[in-house]
Structure formats: C-alpha cells, structure tokens
Structure 1
Amino acid sequence: MRMRNKPWAKPVLDECPYFYDDPFRPNGAWQNCFAKRQPMHLELGCGKGTFIARLAAEHPEINYLAIDMKSVVLASAVKNIEQVFQEHGRSDRNVVLTAYDIERILNIMKEEDIVERIYINFCNPWPKSSYHKKRLTHTRQLQKYQTFLRPGGELHFKTDDDALFEDTLGYLKEAGFEVKYLTRDLHRSDYPSNIDTEHEVRFCEEGIPIKFLIAENLRVRTLDEIEWKKRD
C-alpha cells in the first residue's frame, strides 16, 4: 500500500531521540543505541508501532529494535510509543526505530547484533509464486536472520493469510527452525500473552482467524555462510 505524504512526519522523526535516520551508523553495535545493555528483540515490519509500543512498555527488561520500510510510517509509531509509555508512567525508552529494506537486512544487522527474538506480524503475503522469495518468512530470509538470531532464539509469526502460513511451515523446516507452538485461530487458543496489532484488530472484526506460531532457531551459522549471505 502506498503511503500518503505526511508533512508532520519529518519534524516528529527529527525530534525523536530513538529514531535512527541512518541505519548504517550502528554498524554491528545496535546495543549501543540503547540506554543500557540487555537482551534485544527485533520487530520486522513494525508499521504504526501499536504492537511494539505495548510490548516495550510492558517489558522494560528488554531492548526493542523495530524496522519498517518507510520512515513516514515510523512517525506514527513514535506517536503511539509516546502515548503508550505515558499511560504506563515510563520516562525511559527501550525502543529504537529505523527504516530499511528488510530483504537486505544483512547490510545493517551484523553477527555481533545478537537478537533473542524476532517478531513478524502480518507481512505482505506476496501470493504470486514468482514473488515468494520476497516474503519475510521465505527460507532465504530466515537464513539471513540466523546471522544474528542466536541459536535457541525464537521467531514469533502472525498472519491472516492461510497460504503464507502453510508455506512458512515449510520454509522454517528448510532453514533449520523447529515449531514450538502453533495455532490457526489465535483468539480462540490458549496462548496467554497476545498483543493485538492494528491489522489484527481489523481482521478479527471481519471474522478472519489469526494464524500464529513460535519457532526456535536450531541452527548455528558458520562464518563462511554469513559471508555468502551478505553477497546474496
């Protein structure tokens, strides 16, 4: 979906201390962008930030890096983060935002950027088979994430799209992940700690079941594989 121009977005981002307009600047040291070193989680395709805002506000013991393709949408994320943190009475911000093409994530995330968990919520399903490699859960993308997702780290994935969900199960197996939890109807499941996204609320109102899984990274990346994926 094409984003409309928002004249107010640039001033909001310019004034935001936790928005990094240059995603290359950390250069393998994203932990240094936070006030203190603690486990880091990553959201890919954070959109307007309603999910990451609540997650970060409720878990001050975790650092959260959130990435989206367009910086303009991150201005809305800043507003949502500020509102939620104010509601929780928190003045610190354990969130960092940046804009970049996630397909090329190894340009900005290095093996030193150790991530404990990755969230992918309602990514583009790219239904045409010729575009499947662009999916954020495709095997080649999952292998890139393994550069910085620690062995034993988790991938949390939500979608409304049946075909994407079923294909993702195959991608995970190919890449060396093991599914630890799975439901094809999240809101009727026993999963205890779900946080709705803006898309999720709309899909639920339309009666579309939300598919959800948690997968564990079982694979250790070798240095040769890491270098090869950087060139991919």
Structure 2
Amino acid sequence: MRARHKPWADDYLKENADIVDQTPTDRKGNWSSAFSNSQPIHLEIGTGKGQFVCGMAKQFPETNFIGMEVVKSIIVSAVEKVNETDCENIRLINENAEDLLEIFKPGEIDTIYLNFSDPWPKNRHEKRRLTYRTFLESYKTILKENGKLVLKTDNQGLFEYSLVSFSQFGCRLEEVSLDLHAMEDPTNIMTEYEEKFSAKGQPIYRAVVTFT
C-alpha cells in the first residue's frame, strides 16, 4: 500500500533536525559527532515507521543507531516514535540507499540491517533489490572489517535470491534461519511488518553475513 502524501512532512522534518539530519553528506566520516560519542554505529536501511530502530536503541544504549528511510510520508512516523522513545542514540536520515557512499566513509558502520525490504519480484527489477551485487559492494565499503549485514524478510523468494547473491559475492554466511521465531531469540526486535506476518503464522527468515 502506498503511503499517503503528507504535505507538511518537509516542515516537520526540519522542525526535528535534532533527530533527522538535514545534510547527511556533510557528516561523512564524522558520524560520531552526531551522537557526541564514539560508540559503534549501526544502520537500518528502510527504517519504515521506526519500531525496530527505536527498540534496538532502547535495548542497546551502548550502540548508536541510524535509520535510513527514503519516503518522507513514512519517516515522519519514525520521527514521532523517536520522540516518544526519548533515546539519545538514534538519528534518522531521509535518503536513498543508492547514495550510501556519499553519506558514509569506508569502514564507518559496524552493522547494517535490511528488514522486510521490497522484494522486487520481477526479473527486470533485480537491480533494485537491496541484496543485488551493487548494493553489496556499497555495504562492504562502508562496513568495518568483520562488520555484519543482517537480513530479515518474510519473502521466501527474496531470501533465496539473497543467499545466492551473498554466495556469489563471496560473503561468509554466519547464520541462516528459516524460522526465526522458533529460535526464540531474546535479542530479536520485531518490526511492524514482522509482527503482522508472524501473527498470520508466516515464517520469518534471517541471514547474517560478513564480507571477506
């Protein structure tokens, strides 16, 4: 479902510049300054309404979190949730994953999360999938050595495609779960989509990879 247009979104994001960085490319190589500390930085690409990134920030206060969301009418909901959470270790950016290399320097990020990304099921849209090789190249660049990429999805087709893509790219598979919730992982923070799909009995897939 397409998000409803919010004509006030631009002004709202500017009013919350302490949460939503207005010029993220200026932070390249110095994202620690956004948090005024040198804690590890984790990045969620496609943060949606912010449930995951806020939950992670509360659970892991010793880590800084950046939520990236390209759709303004959606990221405003994430801003509201961050305000409710009142955590100092969250920042949001209204940017596209295609511009990662313009926003982060090599080795600046410790972990990247891809949660319930658009599967782009048609073959002609393969290059838009966030686990396509060009995106993997960007992730490898901005991640620190031994940094992790964590993928969660309910879409079996995307999951299988991603495993092949990871293998072809030379990634090391650290974890492959075909039913994440059966593991009862106490550290797993659910997204809005994850709650919805798991309530219907759909399995949630998770893969954790590192780059060699």
**Shared topology, TM-score over 0.5?**
yes
Q: Is the 8 A contact 2:150 2:206 kept in 1?
A: yes
Q: Give the CA RMSD over aligned residues.
A: 1.7
The alpha-carbon deviation at position 66 of structure 1 amounts to 1.1
> Could you say if the C-alpha distance between residues 190 and 205 of structure 1 is closer, same or farther in structure 2, counting changes exceeding 3 Å?
closer
1:103–1:136 CA contact under 8 A, matched in 2: no
Does 198-207 or 3-12 show the bigger shift?
A: 3-12
Q: Is 1:34 aligned with 2:35? A: yes
Which amino acid in the other structure matches residue 185 of structure 2? Answer: Y
- What's the offset of the Cα at 1:133? 1.2
1:40/1:116 contact within 8 Å kept: yes
Identity of aligned residues (%): 36
- Separation in 2, partners of 1:151, 1:23: 23
Could you say which residue in structure 1 is the equivalent of 2:166?
172
1:126-179 residue CA offsets vs partner (Å, 9 max, x unmatched): 001111111111122111111110121111110011111011111112223211
**1:156-167 mapped onto 2 (5 Å cutoff):** 156-167=150-161
Aligned to 2:92: 97
Name the structure 1 match of 2:4. 4
2:110 equivalent to 1:116:
yes
Tell whether 2:211 aligns with 1:217: yes
Q: Which of residues 118, 128, 131 is equivalent to 1:134?
A: 128
Aligned pair count?
Answer: 211
Q: Distance in 1 between matches of 2:184 and 2:208?
A: 14
Give the distance between the partners of 1:216 and 1:102, measured in 2 at CA: 19
2:188 matched residue in structure 1: 194
- Give the match's secondary structure for 1:152: strand
Match of 1:107 among 64, 81, 102: 102
Letter in 2 for 1:155: L
Match of 1:69 in 2: 70
Write the letter of the residue equivalent to 1:46. T
- Paired with 1:58 and 1:12, the residues of 2 have a C-alpha distance of 27
Structure-2-length-normalised TM-score: 0.92
Displacement of 1:104:
2.9
Residues in 2 aligned to 1:31 and 1:3: alpha-carbon distance in whole angstroms: 32
SS at match of 1:66: strand
Q: Hey, what does 2:83 align to over in structure 1?
A: 82
CA distance in 1, matches of 2:206, 2:61: 24
Residue of structure 2 equivalent to 1:59: 60
CA distance in 2, matches of 1:136, 1:63: 22
Cα displacement (A) at 1:191: 3.0
TM-score, structure 1 as length reference? 0.85
| Counterpart residue number, 2:45 | 44
Kindly provide the amino acid, as one letter, of the partner of residue 193 in structure 2: H
Name the CA distance, whole Å, in 1 between partners of 2:15 and 2:59.
24
Counterpart of 1:75 in structure 2: which amino acid? V
Q: Given residue 65 of structure 2, which amino acid in structure 1 is its aligned partner?
A: Y
